[in-house]
Amino acid sequence: MMSLRHAPTQDLDSRPWDGPTRHYDIFKEGAIALVIVTVLVAALAAIFSSPDDKQLTFKSWAQSSPDSMYTTMVAELAGTSDTYNYGPPYNNNSEGLSVGPIAMQKWMGVTHPINASQDFVIKPLESQTMSADVKAAVDQWNAATPEQQTQWASNYDTALNDAAGANGDPAKVPTGDYGPTSVLAQAVVDMAKTGAYDGAIMQGQFFSTDQTKQMLLMGDGSYMDDIATTDNLQGNTWGMVNEAGSWPGQMWLAPFSFWYQLPAFNNTDPNNTFAQTLTDNADAIIFAIMMVVVLIFVFVPFIPGLRSVPKWIPVSRLVWKDYYREYGRR
Amino acid sequence: MTTTDLPRVDAAPSPEEPTTWTGKIRALWMRELPPEKMLPETQPKYVSSWIYVFGMLTIVSLIVIIVTGIVLTIGGVQWWHTSSFGHYMNSLHFWSVQMFFLFMTVHLWGKFWMSAWRGRRAMTWITGAIAMIMSIATAFTGYLIQTNFNSQWIAFESKDVLNSVGMGALINVTDFGQMVLMHVALLPLCVGVIVVMHVLLVRYRGVVPPAEAIDHAHTVAITEVAS
């Protein structure tokens, strides 16, 4: 009876393999794989196509949800919109997010300045031929002090959004010291209904590839947000990995999206200050967590414990079962 | 010119010893990764599982992505909304990306359970991991330039993440032009370079042996005689 006796292994992993070999043809394997993948992808594309929900425009917003756009324009004038209060890189109206004492958002400063009332309301109106009442409203606004402008718009914003009063309905706003606020907001909505605002917000740029202002304004209202909610695209419903419709989304972002589902980053209890801090700074904290995860992933070969998991759980015996069956294990 | 200025015949290098940068690099390449090692016709016998196919499947998926991406680039960023052929090309691009990540994930888990970083192969793992991260960034920018609702929403949401850590000052996801250039030029170049490095390292180091492989060079056959 014959058996094999093994001498102590000497750098077997690192030295060139000197054991039995098999035939191998990388170009043949590659050609077969290319055909298989091409046919598979061609079939999937033919059967399932790909998602393409039409882009939103300010025209579609104004025509489908004029009150939403009107309320948003009032908020831009009053300084209560998300964009106005964003902070860097758009303005200095807040400090932005941080991870403990590390406030990169603040430190990087304002690199894409946005003046919400001017960029979203006044300048687009001035770029068009204005009716007499709109021109008078713009002139009145421009002639007023910043304090007066804020006072007018804030008064109107408060009255418009008073749940016990107008509750978002411009027709029910009681008379008050609002200056030209309502005329300006309505003028933007009217302009947007014609499609002119989509060009006006670009402010005369011939080559414009930067949609920062458009994107921020679109997100200030409920129009785009409501559509995203309907499609399960919000961050706390795994929106990062979802796709509009039934198509697969960016599943590879699941490790990132996972953290946004945790209660600690979705706090609703105002008395829990720690959880509220986590929630308020979720984007920055989760990004920092993911950077650590990425470093662990990249440097797995050097991390004690983690690199030994495959040894403790020998799943690889399935991979090499033919070899082990023929030659045994050392 | 004096005779002392003439090159000495006996100082001429032998043909085997290159004197130029090109020659030295070629010699280094031929020594470390000769053609028979670069394109071998045999592999160790343990390379006989389906799991080994997923690396190749990932690469051919990348080839399909690049080819369909080139066609989409020629058509322009909005072409596929108005052309049925363009939409099909976009669908090919979309599904090849889905397959690419599926195959790459299986390949990754396979290599993890094989602890494929053994035997001075850590850099092979690291380049593979970086290739995956770069691929995620490339796919992400692709979603940003679809010029449809999805790209609007993803740009709006993702800007907060980058802004929160200061990166938004440099990488503006709501700047369509910047994202187009990153998706069709900068990031594919990075992915291409890192994938080539990864593949060359696989060839250079060879496929990692089984964790419990026997040492064939030091194995002797013995005959046991039944007593």
Residue-wise pLDDT for B49-70, tens only, equals: 999 999 999 999 999 999 999 9
- Give all domains of chain B, ordered by start, each with its CATH number: 51-226 (1.20.810.10)
* Lowest-confidence segment of A90-104, A204-218, B143-157, B181-195 by average pLDDT: A204-218
> At residue A174, does pLDDT exceed 60?
yes
pLDDT for residue A270:
84
Among chain A residues, CA nearest to B163? A105
Give the distance from residue B146's alpha carbon to the nearest chain A alpha carbon, in angstroms: 8
CB B211 to CB A235 under 8 A? Answer: no
Flag whether pLDDT at A215 surpasses 70. yes
pLDDT at A243: 87
Given a cut of 50, is residue A2 above it in pLDDT?
no
| Residues of chain A found within 8 Å of residue B101, distances taken between Cβ atoms | 251-252
Collapsed DSSP state (helix, strand, coil) of residue A102: strand
Whether pLDDT at B124 is above 50: yes
Is the pLDDT confidence value at B5 over 90? no
Q: What is the pTM of this model?
A: 0.91
Q: Which residue has the higher pLDDT, A14 or A1?
A: A14
- Distance, in Å, from the CA atom of A137 to the CA atom of B84, rounded to the nearest integer, reads 48
User: Is residue A228 over pLDDT 70?
Assistant: yes
Contact state of A89 with B168 under an 8 Å Cβ cutoff: yes
pLDDT digits (tens, 9 = 90+) for A276-285: 999 999 999 9
User: Which residues touch A195 (CB under 8 Å, ≥6 apart)?
Assistant: A57, A59
A:B CB pairs within 8 Å: 339
Q: Is the pLDDT of residue B218 over 80?
A: no
Residue A8, pLDDT above cutoff 80:
no
Give the pair of three-digit tokens for residue B204.
Answer: 């250079």
Percent of chain A with pLDDT over 90: 82
Contact B218 A6 (CB under 8 A): yes
By mean pLDDT, which of A230-239, A256-265, B176-185 is the weakest?
A230-239
pLDDT category, B226, cuts 50, 70, 90?
very low
* pLDDT of amino acid A9: 57
Best residue of B160, B201, B202, B223 to probe chain A, by most A CBs closer than 10 Å: B160
Main-chain phi, psi angles of A301, to 5 degrees: -60, -20
B76's torsion region: left (phi>0), alpha (psi -120 to 50) or beta?
Answer: left
- Return the residue of B nearest to A208 by Cα: B177
Q: Where are the alpha helices (DSSP H) in B114-186?
A: 122-144, 149-164, 176-181
Residue A5 has pLDDT above 70, yes or no: no
Q: To the nearest whole angstrom, how far is the Cα of A184 from the nearest Cα of chain B?
A: 26
Chain B residues whose beta carbon lies within 8 Å of the beta carbon of residue A55: 147-149, 151-152
pLDDT digits (tens, 9 = 90+) for A75-86: 999 999 999 999
Query: What mean pLDDT comes out for the span A17-41?
Result: 96
C-alpha dihedral sign at B104, B110, B113, B114: negative
Residue among A30, A52, A89 minimizing CB distance to B87: A52
Q: How far is B151 from chain A (nearest CA, A)?
A: 8
Please report which confidence band the pLDDT of residue B200 belongs to, taking 50, 70 and 90 as the band edges.
very high
Residues B162, B163, B166: CA angle, nearest 5 degrees: 90
Task: Give contacts of B45 with chain A, Cβ < 8 Å.
Answer: 19-22, 323, 326
Q: What pLDDT score was predicted for residue A236?
A: 85
What is the pLDDT averaged over residues A257-268?
93
- CB-based contact B212 A324, cutoff 8 Å: yes
More confident residue, B1 or A325: A325
Is A21–B42 a contact, with Cβ atoms under 8 angstroms apart? yes
- Cα A322 to Cα A288: distance, rounded to the nearest angstrom: 44
Query: Which one, of B36, B202, B193, B30, lies nearest residue B119 by Cα?
Result: B202
Quick one: pLDDT at residue A1? 46
What is the mean pLDDT of the segment spanning A291-300?
A: 98
Reference B180, options B72, B63, B61, B85; nearest CA is B72
Chain A hits for B39, Cβ within 8 Å: 26-27
Alpha helices (runs of H) in chain A, residue ranges in sequence order: 26-48, 58-64, 66-78, 104-108, 116-117, 123-126, 132-143, 146-160, 181-194, 196-200, 212-220, 222-230, 254-260, 273-280, 282-298, 309-312, 316-319, 321-327
What percent of chain B is modeled with pLDDT above 70?
A: 89
Q: Which of A13, A247, A309 sits opposite B119 (nearest CB)?
A: A13
Tell me whether residues A24 and B148 touch, CB distance under 8 A: no
Chain A residues near residue B209 by CB distance under 8 angstroms: 12-13, 17, 19
Q: B71: distance to nearest CA of chain A, Å?
A: 15
From B60, B153, B163, residue closest to A89, measured CB to CB:
B163
Under a CB-based contact definition with an 8 Å cutoff, are residues A219 and B159 in contact?
no
- State chain B's mean pLDDT as an integer: 91
Q: Do B95 and A41 touch (CB under 8 A)?
A: yes
Q: What is the pLDDT of residue B164?
A: 96
| Among candidate residues B52, B98, B179, the one with its CA nearest the CA of residue A210 | B179
Q: Which chain A positions have a beta carbon within 8 Å of B88's beta carbon?
A: 45-46, 49
Torsion angle of the four alpha carbons B185, B186, B189, B194, in this order, in degrees rounded to the nearest 10: -160
pLDDT in tens, B8-18: 555 555 667 89
- For A129-168, what is each residue's pLDDT tens digit? 999 999 999 999 999 999 999 999 999 999 999 998 888 8
Residue A128 has pLDDT above 70, yes or no: yes
Predicted pLDDT of residue B9: 54
Mean pLDDT score, A297-321: 96
A211–B155 C-beta distance less than 8 A = yes
The pLDDT value given to residue A184: 97
Residue A64 distance to chain B (closest CA, Å)? 16
Q: How far apart are CA A121 and CA A114, in angstroms?
A: 12
Q: CB–CB of A85/A77 below 8 Å? A: no
pLDDT band at residue A21 under the 50/70/90 scheme:
very high
ipTM of the prediction: 0.92
Give the model's pLDDT for residue B221.
55
Each residue of B24-37: pLDDT tens digit?
Answer: 999 999 999 999 99
